[in-house]
Amino acid sequence: MNKSKLNEKHRLCGSFKGGASLKIHTPPELLTVFKRGRYRFRVAENGETEANVERGELRYVDEQGNLAKVKKGKQINFVKRRKESRTFIK
């Protein structure tokens, strides 16, 4: 990801009170934080999104419509291409 062209505008909603989650809307994907932890999100001008989970758990719906999890120590990249998004996990 070209770090010089990051979009600093992020739309966040939700809280952890009462078991609620935090939803993060990015151009290619809706990401949901389910556990307290430490996360880093980067969104480039072209819509490419990088999410790092240092601690905690992040969830999203994958290309097959299944709920997918990203656990601590993992990074995931979402690349927006035309009408579809592609996902890469490190």
Contact 39, 53 (CB under 8 A): yes
Residue ranges of domains in the chain: 12-77
Give 69's pLDDT tier (boundaries 50, 70, 90): very high
Q: In Å, how far from its chain's centre is CA 18?
A: 22
Residues 4-40 pLDDT 10s = 454 544 444 444 666 677 888 888 888 988 888 888 8
User: What is the pLDDT, as a whole number, of residue 71?
Assistant: 92
> What distance in Å separates the CA atoms of residue 18 and residue 40, rounded to the nearest whole number?
24
pTM of the model: 0.67
